[in-house]
Amino acid sequence: MFTCERVLVFILFITSACWTEQVREIECSRATQTVCHCNSHDAVVRFNAAPSKGYEKDVGSKTTIRIMNSQILANPKHNFSTSSLYKDITLVAWDPAPYNIDLHKWYQQPDYDLFTPYITHRKNFPEQPFYILHPSFIWKLWDIVQSNTKDNIQPNPPSSGFIGIVMMMNFCEEVHVYEYIPSMRQSKLCHYHEKYNDAACTFGAYHPLLYEKLLIKRMSTASEEDIKKKGKVTLPGFSKINCLL
């Protein structure tokens, strides 16, 4: 079963050592006209600046964890320090550090300055769980994606969505992901909360999205009908997987 204690210990571990529903902006659905059951899940993960207010019919209202890339913290337009999106939940941030970067160099020169707002937020809200993912965790995921294709993938980090899926497979016995693998409702719309069209949001330009999605589809136990009509992928948690060596 999902427990807050288990979640926080794991995030701390991957930070120092180194769901759920829909992924890209997560939860139940990126598309409209979908009945949402997000609030009935043990945990719901949302990504970056994806809101739920005004979209409850499609994405529910519950948020347990928010996974954010470093631009969310660094760019003033996201109002990280004041927005209610980032309050009263567990926060997990990551920054696209180079593959073999030294941690001290990364701290001094992150891709986007997430450390300054992180420190400020921790001082202002010391009781709120807030973690930064170790870059080696991100690149280990990239290694997994690369090892599952014969193509040579550009060494760019995996998407927040893929990071969230794998993270929640550690916590949950079963993970439901909607519209990460596009359903028949597929469009060029990037995010349900923005009027911005770009097919690269689905198939990738910077992130290896196409390869991530092919891997997730291979792992899915959902029926082809669920994937086609609902965009729903069902994944077993790692505790339920028996690997044959």
Q: Write out the two tokens for 214.
A: 């092919």
Measured distance CA(159)–CA(154) in Å, rounded: 13
- Chain position carrying tokens 């427990």: 3
Which residues are CB-contacts of 162 (< 8 A; sequence separation ≥ 6)? 23, 141, 145, 207, 209, 212, 216
Contacts 24+ apart (CB under 8 A), 36-42: 36/60, 38/62, 41/176, 42/1, 42/2, 42/172
pLDDT at 36: 52
- pLDDT confidence of residue 29: 30
Residue 35 has a CB neighbour count (10 Å cut-off) of 9
Place of tokens 């979640």: 7
pLDDT less than 50: residues of the chain: 1-35
CA distances from 201 to 80, 87, 161, 242 (A): 23, 27, 11, 33
- pLDDT at position 202, please? 65
The full set of domains in the chain, from first to last, is 4-173 (3.90.1480.20)
Assess contact for 233 and 217: CB atoms under 8 A.
Answer: yes
Q: What is the pLDDT of residue 7?
A: 35
